[in-house]
Amino acid sequence: MDFNSGLLPYGNKWRLHRKMFHVALNKDATLEYKTMQLQKVQQLLENMINTPKQYDKHFKTMSAAIIMAVTYGYDVAPRHDPFVTKIERFMELFLAVLTPERAALLSFVPILQHIPSWSPGGKYKRRAGECRALAYDVLNDPVAFVKKKMAAGTAEKSLVRDLYDKEIGETANPDLEEDVKAVAATVFLGGAETTDSTLLVFLLAMILNPDVQAKAQEEIDRVVGTQRLPNFEDRPDLPYVEGVYLETLRWRPVVPMALPHMTSVSDVYEGMYIPKGAFVLVNIWAMTHDETRFPDPMAFKPERHLTPSGTLAAGTTSHSFGFGRRICPGRYMADQAVWAAMVSMLATLRISKDKDEFGGEIEVKPEFTTGLSIHPKPFLCSITARSDEAAQLVRESNSGE
């Protein structure tokens, strides 16, 4: 995981990675991915209508498809995609190996790192071995795919192609190539789970707040109509939907303590001495639940981001992407993907509590995983097309009619 840009300390390598992210994922560059993102969202809608119980899997598929297209110009296979399967296994192993408590134990009792992999308690080492082998493939295989396509003159626009064109050019500097591979792999690691977790939060919020869903749908029907799917040009005219989006990020930020930071010099802050090298965790969750800014913070209220006349209030940016120099470099891409998925689901789907055998609603108690990045635990829900017309629109959008 040394290659992961999010874990790099300040320095030339981290600066180079940030520059690469900026070249490929700045606000303007990201605009070029809008059409592709909408296409992947349309596939999501069809999957949701066909097999709604697998909503979790459909979000994962959509996030992976967008990220692989943005990063490598690669169209993922609907099932068992060879690249995605390896990356997902890699992440699963990594997250299992490096839980915060295990990391703390290993750093406080370093001798534990030397226990043989066959001994009791050595399971993490066996997993680490598999993880290391997979890391090699995760870094190299998709970039080899792009280079082959570039040589044939058929490479789609992507982060890797942009970086080869703009940063590496004719120099073919092997060090820079390693950094391109690292930056590209980091996009999946930083972007896939966070995007689909945010969509799970949205789904949960819609089940628990049917009045919010109805209001958002009323706005979409009024502004967009029911004869077409919404697109990015509608965004400024849908302030309530924007409120739903901002409230989703605020209500349950999926990276609630950002990434751990460390002070590079000693400092005194409000009378407290903070030594150089101290861990600093930014409590994003506390900021987005600050009662002075967000009264009744546990309630899901899109109105809090709007003026009394219903327009978007000034200064409604989200804290959920972090701050300062280490702010999330994928925020524009995530913003587009999450908004597009939300507005399209609202336009075409009815999301509600599931029913039991007697027709009674099954209550949903929101529960979340813990860790650096969190998501709602599985919950029951019912997802159907809002109308025959909506189902037809979804089918047509996917058949290219």
Annotated binding-site ranges for heme: 328
Number of H helices, E strands in the chain: 14, 6
| 142 touches ligand HEM by CB under 6 A | no
| 230 touches ligand HEM by CB under 6 A | no
Q: What's the distance, Cα to Cα, between the start and end of the chain in Å?
A: 44
Is the CB of 187 or the CB of 385 nearer to ligand HEM? 187
How far apart are alpha carbons 281 and 291 in whole angstroms? 20
Q: Which amino acid is at 276?
A: K
Piece of 49-57, 82-90, 117-125, 316-324 that binds ligand HEM (CB under 6 A): 316-324
Which residue do the tokens 């750093």 mark? 107
Give the annotated binding-site residues. 328
Residues 322-341 touching ligand HEM, rule: CB under 6 A, are 322-323, 326-330, 333-334, 338
Among 61, 198, 248, 344, binds ligand HEM (CB under 6 A): 198
Indicate the pairing of strand 261-262 with strand 279-280: antiparallel
How far apart are alpha carbons 23 and 309 in whole angstroms? 39
Q: How far is the CB of 148 from ligand HEM (least distance, A)?
A: 24
Is the CB of 217 or the CB of 288 nearer to ligand HEM? 288
Question: At a CB cut-off of 8 Å and minimum separation 6, what does 52 contact?
Answer: 381, 382, 383, 384
| 158 touches ligand HEM by CB under 6 A | no
Give the pair of three-digit tokens for residue 28: 């303007």
Q: What count of Cα atoms within 13 Å lies in the side-chain half-sphere of residue 22?
A: 9
How far apart are alpha carbons 206 and 376 in whole angstroms? 13
Piece of 28-36, 78-86, 163-171, 194-202 that binds ligand HEM (CB under 6 A): 194-202
Residues 20-39 touching ligand HEM, rule: CB under 6 A, are 25
Helical packing angle, 174-208 and 239-251, nearest 10° = 100
Is the CB of 129 or the CB of 323 nearer to ligand HEM? 323
How far apart are alpha carbons 204 and 353 in whole angstroms? 9
**Binding string, 253-292, against ligand HEM, x = CB under 6 A?**
-xx--xx---------------------------------
Using CB under 6 A as the criterion, which residues of the chain lie in contact with ligand HEM when the complex forms? 5-6, 18, 25, 186-187, 190-191, 194-195, 198, 254-255, 258-259, 320-323, 326-330, 333-334, 338
